[in-house]
Structure 1
Amino acid sequence: MSSFALGRPSVRRPLIVAVTALLLITSFLAVARPASAHGSAIDPPSRHYACARNWDTDWQNPIMESRDPMCWQAWQSNPAAMWTWNGLIQDNVNNDHQARVPDGELCGGGDDTYAALNNPGLWKARDIGNNFRWTMHDQARHGSAYIRIYVTRQGFDPVTQRLKWTDLELVKDTGPFPEAGWPTTTDPILNGVSYSFDVSAPGRTGRHIVYAVWRAGHADQNYYMCSDVRFPGGPADPTTPPPPPPAENDGCSATYAAGSQWPGGFQSEVTVTSGSAAIKGWAVTFQFPDGQSIYQAWNADVTSSNGSFVARNVNYNGALAAGASTKFGIQGQWLGTHGAPVLSCVATR
C-alpha cells in the first residue's frame, strides 16, 4: 500500500503539466486565429483551406505525414499560415498580379509565410468534371472588384512542377459585384457569404490546378488560391511521389562551397547573390543527392520541406543591392556518400 501511495504524486505531476500545456496551447490557438477574417476557395478547396479544415484540431498528429504528406509539410513549415487560411493577401497590387507574385510562388501568393503551399506534390485533389461549379467564401463580406479564375493548361504536372503564370489559362472573370444577395452560412468556421460560379475547362484530363485571384470590393486587397483538382481521364497518381524539382533561380543565385568533413558530418558555406535588381529577401532550396540532412545553420533560417531543405534570410541579410552578395553556413549529417547539393534561389522583391 505504501508504495502505491508514494507513486501517486509522480502520476499527478505529469497530469498537472499536461493540463497546463493544454491550456497554453489553447490560449495560443485563440491568439493565432484571427478575430476577423477574409476568405478563400472552399469548393474545390484551396490548399490552405483544405489543410486547415481537415487538420485544425489534430495538426500535431504524426499520422498526417503518411495520410496527407503535403498538408503535413505545410503545417510543419508554418502552423499559423494554416490557421490563417483566410488571410493570404497582398495589398496595393494595382491589378499587376504578375509583378507582385513571382513565378513559382503563385500558390503562396508571393508571401513567404505561405511558401509551403508552392511545393509540388500529391496534394489532395477534388474530382470534378470539365464543367464544374467553383465556390469561394468571403468571411468579411468585402464583395468583389473581380474574381479571375484560371485553370492550368493540359500538360502541366502539379505533382512535379511549381506553378507559373504561363501555365495558366483565364477561364472566368466575374467583374465587380457586391456581397449582398449571396447565400450566407451558419458554419462557425466560415461565418460569411459564398460566391459560386460555373466554370468550363475543356480539353483537360487528370490532375490540374484551379487558380483564382480575388480583388476585394472595398480596397486594393488581393487574395490568391490554388485548388487541386482531377478531371476525368489522365494517368493515375504515382504510388510514391517523386521528389520535387528545385525551383528555378529567380532574382538571385546561390553557390555552394564544401568545407570541413568528418565521419557522418559536414560543414559548408553558401553564397547568395542578387541579380540585376535589388531584392528584399531570398530563399535557397537544397536538393541533396545522397539523403543528407541539415541540423544547424547560421545567418539563415533552415526548414525541411517534402524531402528538401530551404534556407531563408534572417532579418539583417535579406536586403541586397543589385549584384550584391551575402553568405551563410550550414552543418549537416551524411551516411555512405556525400555529394554536393543542387541549389536554387528565389528572391523577394
Structure 2
Amino acid sequence: MSTVLRRRPTALAGSLLTIGAIIALLLTTALANSASAHGAVVNPGYRAHSCWERWGAEFQNPRMATEDPMCWQAWQADPQAMWNWNGLFREGVAGNHQGAIPDGQLCSGGRTQNGRYKALDTVGAWKTASVANSFRLKFFDQASHGADYMRVYVTKQGFNALTTPLGWNDLELAGQIGNTPASQWDKDTGGVSIQIPVNAPGRTGRHIVYTVWQASHLDQSYYLCSDVDFGGGPTTPPTTAPPTTAPPTTPPPTTAPPTTAPPTTAPPTTPPPAGACTATYRVTTTWNGGFQGEVDVTAGASAIKGWTVNWTYSGGQQVSQAWNATLASSGSTVTARNVNYNGALAAGGKTTFGFLASGSGTSPTPVCTATL
C-alpha cells in the first residue's frame, strides 16, 4: 500500500496568498470606485493623490515608513482613502464651508466619509512640490461635473505647516474661477482638466495650498490640501501668453475666505444682434492697492467662433494676471481674447473670464467684437 505525502503550506506561502488577496481586493475596489469617480487637484497634487501617485504600485513597501512617513501613516490609517483619492467631498454644505468644516479638519473636509480621510489632517512634514509665487494649479475632473466655482487659498507668510493645524484664518484667497461647465475644460485622459492661475506674492518656504471645488453636480463640495515650497519653478507651463505688465506688489486681502459663491450679473435684457457679442464687466474683490474682476461675454442671436474684448482704464490700473482669456495691455487699454476652449459660443451662449489688477477698482465700459 502506497502512501501519498501532502506538503502543508508554509507560513510564507500563506502570507503571500493573503497579501495577494488584499491587493486584488484593493485593485478591484479602486476600479469600481473609478467608474463613479469625481476629481481632485493633481498639480501640485493634493495629499491623497500625491501619496497614491508615489506609492500606489508598492503601498506595502516598508521604505515608505522612513522615506515618506506622512504618506505611510495615511496608508496605514485607511488604504481606501488613497485609492479613492478623487472622492473627498461633502454634500449639502450650501456654500457655508467655514460652518461645515472646523479648524484643524480642513484637509479631510471635516472628517467627511465617516472619517475616511482624517489622516490627511495630520500635521507634519508632508512632501512638497516646488512652485513659483505665480503658478497654475491643475484640477482634474474624472466625472466631468464642471464647477459652479473654484477657490484657491494659500497659507499666510509665517504659518508653520510643520507644527500648526490648518485653520480658516490661516488662509488668503489667491485665485478663483466662477461658473465653468465641463464643456469649457480641456480634454484630458479619462476626463477633463482646467488650470487656475494662482498668485501668492511674498511667500517663501513651505506652505499649504487649499482648494475648494463646488462641483456642478448636486451640492458636492471638495476640500483639498496641497503641500508646496515657494521658490521653485512653475509646476505647469502656462497655456496662455504671460501678462505684459508687472504683477501687483500688494497681496490679496487678509480677511477670512468668503462663504458664498462669487456674485453674478443678470444677462442683458436685449440680446445683441446676430453675429455680435456683448461684454459685462464687474469688480468682485478689492484690497489695498489691487482688485479682482470678471467679464461675462455673451453671443448674439447666432453662434460665434471667437471673441475679443477691449476696455480702457482712466486711473493707471494695470492687469497682472488672467484666467479663461489671454490679456494684453497697451498703455491704459486692455485687450482680452478667448482661449481655445471658450471661443466658440452658441447663440445666446455665455462664458466668463477673470483677472487680477493693481490700482483701485473701477468699472470701464468694455466693447466686444465677435469672430464669425
Report the TM-score range of the alignment, normalised by the length of the smaller protein.
0.5 to 0.7
Q: Equivalent residue for 1:160?
A: 163
How many angstroms apart in 2 are the aligned matches of 1:227 and 1:157?
14
Q: Equivalent residue for 1:25?
A: 23
- Residues 95 and 63 (structure 1), Cα distance of their counterparts in 2 relative to 1, 3 Å cut: same
Kindly state the Cα deviation for residue 10 of structure 1 after the two structures are TM-superposed.
4.9
**Residues 1:62 and 2:62 are matched in the alignment:** yes
**Residues 1:115 and 2:118 are matched in the alignment:** yes
**Count of residue pairs brought into register by the alignment:** 224
- Residues 67 and 98 (structure 1), Cα distance of their counterparts in 2 relative to 1, 3 Å cut: same
After the TM superposition, which residues 130-145 of structure 1 pair with which residues of structure 2 at under 5 Å, given as runs? 130-145=133-148
User: Does structure 1 retain, via aligned residues, the 8 Å contact 2:26–2:80?
Assistant: no
Deviation digits for residues 225-269 of structure 1, max 9, x if unmatched? 000000129xxxxxxxxxxxxxxxxxxxxxxxxxxxxxxxxxxxx
How many angstroms apart in 2 are the aligned matches of 1:152 and 1:13?
50
How many angstroms apart in 2 are the aligned matches of 1:130 and 1:24?
42
**Residues 1:53 and 2:56 are matched in the alignment:** no
Kindly state the Cα deviation for residue 173 of structure 1 after the two structures are TM-superposed.
2.2
**Residues 1:224 and 2:223 are matched in the alignment:** yes
Structure 2 letter corresponding to 1:226: C
- Residues 171 and 85 (structure 1), Cα distance of their counterparts in 2 relative to 1, 3 Å cut: same
- Residues 126 and 17 (structure 1), Cα distance of their counterparts in 2 relative to 1, 3 Å cut: closer
Q: Equivalent residue for 1:339?
A: none
How many angstroms apart in 2 are the aligned matches of 1:183 and 1:228?
24
RMSD: 2.1
Structure 2 letter corresponding to 1:153: K
How many angstroms apart in 2 are the aligned matches of 1:104 and 1:78?
19
SS in 1 for 2:117: helix
SS in 2 for 1:148: strand
- Unmatched 5+ residue regions in structure 2? 233-372
Kindly state the Cα deviation for residue 23 of structure 1 after the two structures are TM-superposed.
3.6
Q: Equivalent residue for 1:43?
A: 43
Kindly state the Cα deviation for residue 16 of structure 1 after the two structures are TM-superposed.
6.8
Superposition TM-score, scaled by structure 1 size: 0.60
Kindly state the Cα deviation for residue 58 of structure 1 after the two structures are TM-superposed.
1.1
Deviation digits for residues 268-303 of structure 1, max 9, x if unmatched? xxxxxxxxxxxxxxxxxxxxxxxxxxxxxxxxxxxx
How many angstroms apart in 2 are the aligned matches of 1:173 and 1:17?
49
Of residues 134, 149, 164 in structure 2, which corresponds to 1:146? 149
Kindly state the Cα deviation for residue 219 of structure 1 after the two structures are TM-superposed.
1.9
Structure 1 letter corresponding to 2:58: D
**Residues 1:89 and 2:89 are matched in the alignment:** yes
Q: Which moved more, 1:128-137 or 1:172-181?
A: 172-181
Deviation digits for residues 51-95 of structure 1, max 9, x if unmatched? 111111211111101000000011111111111110111101010
SS in 2 for 1:54: helix
User: Does structure 1 retain, via aligned residues, the 8 Å contact 2:176–2:196?
Assistant: no
- Residues 76 and 24 (structure 1), Cα distance of their counterparts in 2 relative to 1, 3 Å cut: closer
How many angstroms apart in 1 are the aligned matches of 2:29 and 2:196?
34
Deviation digits for residues 190-217 of structure 1, max 9, x if unmatched? x111110111100111000110000001
SS in 2 for 1:166: helix
**Residues 1:198 and 2:197 are matched in the alignment:** yes
- Residues 185 and 63 (structure 1), Cα distance of their counterparts in 2 relative to 1, 3 Å cut: same
Superposition TM-score, scaled by structure 2 size: 0.57
- Residues 47 and 20 (structure 1), Cα distance of their counterparts in 2 relative to 1, 3 Å cut: closer
User: Does structure 1 retain, via aligned residues, the 8 Å contact 2:40–2:86?
Assistant: yes
SS in 1 for 2:52: helix
Q: Percent identity?
A: 48
SS in 1 for 2:188: coil
Kindly state the Cα deviation for residue 25 of structure 1 after the two structures are TM-superposed.
3.2
How many angstroms apart in 2 are the aligned matches of 1:194 and 1:63?
32
Deviation digits for residues 107-144 of structure 1, max 9, x if unmatched? 11102211111111110101111011111100100000
Q: Equivalent residue for 2:104?
A: 104
Structure 1 letter corresponding to 2:211: A
Q: Equivalent residue for 1:272?
A: none
SS in 1 for 2:149: strand
Kindly state the Cα deviation for residue 185 of structure 1 after the two structures are TM-superposed.
2.5
